[in-house]
Amino acid sequence: MGKERWSQRAVCCLLLMALMARNHAAVVDVKTKGAKGDGKTNDGPAIVDAWKAACAGPPPSSVLFPPGIYMAFPPIDLMGPCKGPIEFKATGATIKAPPELAKFKTDAWIWFTKVDSLTMTGGTYDGQGQETWKNNKCSTSGTCSLPSTIKLSFVKNALVKDVTSANAKFFHMFIVDCENTRLDHVTIDAPGNSVNTDGIHVGRVSGVNITDTNIKTGDDCISFGDGSKNVHVERVTCGPGHGISIGSLGRYPNEAPVAGIWIKNCTFTGTLNGVRIKTWPGGTPGTASDMHFDDIIMTNVGTPILIDQLYCPYSPCQKGPSKVKISNVSFRKIRGSSSTKIAIRLACSPGLPCDNVEVADINLTFKGPGGPATSECSSVKPKVVGQVVPPACPGGPK
């Protein structure tokens, strides 16, 4: 009996200590650091001060935004490491960037870096990018130096949930050099004429899950740069936008392989492209493998299924075939309507033909001039499974 009583007391003490530790966790209200939340005052310094206090405080800590409109001039650099898990909670709040591009000196507005166990909950982040879109020269210069709204770099074990990004100047969310990142119930909201505003861009990441997300923007809804590995996207709606794209790849030296991308149960409406893989002609060597697109609905989508190894949106283009090897790709259960006559286009590299490409159970229609829908293939012999409409490369690859 004595041992049992001692054990019960020990458990009670441990529970009490855990409760006391939680009660002493740092919860820092940005208004205690001087934020006004009036939509006029620059609350950026107060937000950074609140982050520093929470990051250095006893975990699990949090930065709390009461409801209001917070004007936040950059830089909003939220750096770790912190003492433990930390939450950035803005439910009911709107955080606004200054509209003037000249106020930005870095490539991000809200920038989390070197944090382990980050939770970002709620809030609307308004990039106020309308003037930037008007003056965007990326399409003619081929280079961009613009700020993303939310950037995560060298972050581990992150959860971004119930967050809205509106009117970004550049990418809405930029996730790079991260491990184990989950985005759930995220909303991306920008008009179709918002130039270069990728919804979610990931690169050099391992383990990303994007679920139950609604994306309306002026560029790729989701884009994958080099080094993207083990990424799952499910129940995402896309449109307006340019679709979901792997790449572009093969433009820069020493690009890391792309491997393990699963896009499932998504819906595209009125997008410029559907699901696509794009690499530059000429360029640098690389690989992209194990990419799978499954159970997708297309409504009035330009070229719903696309591999483009001649991607070059601005001149001059490099000469020669792409040096990125594409292999182990599947397009399955994709149905709906194409806004262009070519519903399936598999344009692979003549220098490195695509290997093991499967097209299965496809039903895509086109009702415009010159219909019905057709397909084109080059440097690939796709494996056709089940009924595929339009027939995938009935005359064989060119």
Active site residues: 219, 242
Under 8 Å between Cβ of 329 and 292? yes
Would you call the peptide bond into 350 cis, given omega within 30 degrees of 0 as the criterion?
no
User: Which residue in the block uniquely carries the two structure tokens 């490369």?
Assistant: 393
Would you call the peptide bond into 240 cis, given omega within 30 degrees of 0 as the criterion?
yes
Pairing of strands 200-203, 228-238: unpaired
User: Which residue in the block uniquely carries the two structure tokens 């989950």?
Assistant: 182
Under 8 Å between Cβ of 261 and 228? yes
Residue closest to 262 by CA, chosen among 181, 332, 188: 332
**Within 24-60, where are the H helices?**
44-56
Burial class of 305 by CB neighbour count within 10 A (0 to 12, 13 to 18, 19+) = buried
Burial profile 355-372: b = 16 or more Cβ within 10 angstroms, e = fewer: eebebbbbbbebeeeeee
Burial class of 341 by CB neighbour count within 10 A (0 to 12, 13 to 18, 19+) = middle
| Cα–Cα distance for residue pair 398/248, rounded to 1 Å | 23
Task: Give the phi and the psi of residue 67 in degrees, each rounded to 5.
Answer: -55, 140
| Cα–Cα distance for residue pair 202/232, rounded to 1 Å | 12
| Cα–Cα distance for residue pair 239/214, rounded to 1 Å | 9
